Amino acid sequence: MNAGESSPPPDPTAGSQTPPRRRRPRYPGTHPRRFEHKYKELRASEFPDDARHIESRGKTLAGSHRPIMVPEILQVLAPAPGETAVDATLGHGGHALELLRAVTAGGAPGRLLGLDVDPIERPRAEARIRAAGHDETRFVSVGSNHAGMAAVLARLGWDGADVVLADLGVSSMQIDDPSRGFSIKFDGPLDLRMNPTRGVPAADWLAGVNERRLEQALIDGADEPRAGDLARAIAAARVSRPFRRTLELASWLREWSGPHASRDAADGLVRRVFQALRIAVNDEYSSLATWLRLLPSVLRPNGRVAVLTFHSGEDRLVKQAFKEGLRTRVYDEAPDEVLRPSAEERRANPRSASAKLRWARRAPAP
Ligand SMILES: C[S@@+](CC[C@H](N)C(=O)[O-])C[C@H]1O[C@@H](n2cnc3c(N)ncnc32)[C@H](O)[C@@H]1O
């Protein structure tokens, strides 16, 4: 194989079984840069020292995700032995494992339902959680939008939940794998779908959307200050230059930000546009609104919910829903102020920097 060629990405769950020995992928230079070449990170359990070293530098291991604000979430959710929990965004399973540990402590018959729309990562998270010793009586994972949480619980015959968590947005596994199209650093198809078997890739959405709708998506999804100008410029540019690849769009955006824009400002623009596209193609706000509306019907009396958000649009929806729930006495507690990651966590895991945590408690039975 030539140095520039890539081998298929190793399975990040491979550490849970005994994997066959594979030759390490060849890569140019002294350090693997491409996702599929980071074989030590992708098989972290076989290379624990390297994994520790990478994490100590504030990096997230390729193919992995570091759960955010774990102590704060455990404190507000207070999962107790024997309780029923739902992780509405299973991701890598880090939060789910912590919740499972609490609800099954001392052999208690607690259980957790984990939902995720991502058909690539969800089976890997499930395998990881099974390997940690949680069988089907304790842990059930379902490929579903969290908007369908109430229906999934009903189908399982589970009578509501004491604890519900949603850690919104995108996982590090999704961001880091260029073939998913979320990366602004590495080239890949401009896709950005959490479930690539549903809906349309961002490239098709961008090719077909009208200028007005694009402007609104840039405002709603990213508070883009020059949304109107940018929507107009994209609509003009796409006539001669369809945006099919992540780096094609990213470099066009950097150019559009102008010769005097700082690198940070240009990167900020690229990040905001990708975020707005992601929110649009995954229809994230309507899923979140449905989930928030149905949440009280799922929470048992005194049940607790915690939501981690990563931008103002998400946070606004959660804040409004909890405020309305307080007003109508569906919730008896929902603090107005958000919790933020500690300075130490932000340093150790820069991806936590924009996180905001809100929580609420379902009122007791009348
Ligand atoms: C930030 S990650 C969660 C990480 C997880 N808490 C952990 O500890 O590994 C967000 C996850 O939510 C999933 N997701 C996004 N929108 C969703 C939706 N509407 N319904 C279900 N899952 C969704 C994504 O596929 C992704 O895996």
What is the per-residue pLDDT across 302-346, written as a single tens digit (0 to 9) for each? 999 999 999 999 999 999 999 999 999 999 999 999 999 999 999
Q: Is the CB of 12 under 6 A from ligand 1?
A: no
Q: Is the CB of 114 under 6 A from ligand 1?
A: no
Task: Give me the pLDDT at residue 10, please.
Answer: 44
Task: Give me the pLDDT at residue 1, please.
Answer: 31
Summarize pLDDT for 213-269 with one digit per residue, the tens: 999 999 999 999 999 999 999 999 999 988 999 999 999 999 999 999 999 999 999
Q: Domain-by-domain residue ranges, the chain?
A: 1-64, 70-172+298-362, 196-281
Which among 194, 349, 352 is the best mutation to test ligand 1's pocket, defined by most ligand atoms within 8 Å of the CB? Answer: 194
* Average pLDDT across the chain, whole number: 90
Task: Give me the pLDDT at residue 5, please.
Answer: 32
Q: Is the CB of 95 under 6 A from ligand 1?
A: yes
Task: Give me the pLDDT at residue 44, please.
Answer: 67
Task: Give me the pLDDT at residue 9, please.
Answer: 43
- 117 CA distance to ligand 1 centroid (A)? 7
Task: Give me the pLDDT at residue 39, please.
Answer: 61
User: What are the residue ranges of helices labelled H in the chain?
Assistant: 39-42, 48-56, 70-77, 94-103, 122-131, 149-156, 172-176, 202-208, 211-222, 227-240, 246-256, 263-281, 284-298, 312-327, 343-348
Pick the CATH number of 196-281 from 1.25.40, 3.30.2170, 1.25.10, 1.10.150: 1.10.150
Task: Just give the CATH number of 70-172+298-362.
Answer: 3.40.50.150
Contacts of 218 (CB under 8 A, 6+ apart): 224, 227, 230, 231, 272, 273, 276
**Which ranges of the chain have pLDDT less than 70?**
1-62
Contact 284, 145 (CB under 8 A): no
Task: Give me the pLDDT at residue 304, please.
Answer: 98
Going by alpha carbons, the residue nearest to atom 9 of ligand 1 is 92
Task: Render the burial of 124-134: b for 16+ CB within 10 Å, e for the rest.
Answer: bbbbbbbeeeb
